[in-house]
Amino acid sequence: MNDMKLCQSCAMPMNQPEAEYGTEADGSKSEDYCHYCYKEGNFTADVTMDEMIEICVPHMVSDEPGGMSEETARSMLQGLLPTLKRWQ
């Protein structure tokens, strides 16, 4: 997982070909942030790290067999988000 590129705000995986990157003020692709978090050189939401965790958890939880529980998702994000560029 060390070579996996993640959004430096929400930790969404960004190394798939269909990943949608955010944009800088000049319209160029942001190398650090996804389109949900960053647009035209600004973050799309003024949130704390704890608020970001609460936003992200429901998107990670799955009822599918082997899916991630809410507890696991929250724990993972609490460990990961503090290491990301936006939250340092």
For residue 45, the number of C-alpha atoms closer than 13 Å in the C-beta half-sphere is: 15
The residue ranges of every structural domain in the chain are: 21-87
Q: What is the pLDDT of residues 21-57, one digit of tens each?
A: 999 999 999 999 999 999 999 999 999 999 999 999 9
Per the DSSP assignment, residues forming a β-bridge with 39 are 42
Contacting residues for 25 by C-beta, under 8 A, at least 6 apart: 40, 41, 42
Q: Kindly tell me if the per-residue pLDDT of 1 is higher than 80.
A: no
Assess contact for 45 and 54: CB atoms under 8 A. Answer: no
Amino acid at the residue 40 = E
Average pLDDT, the chain: 92
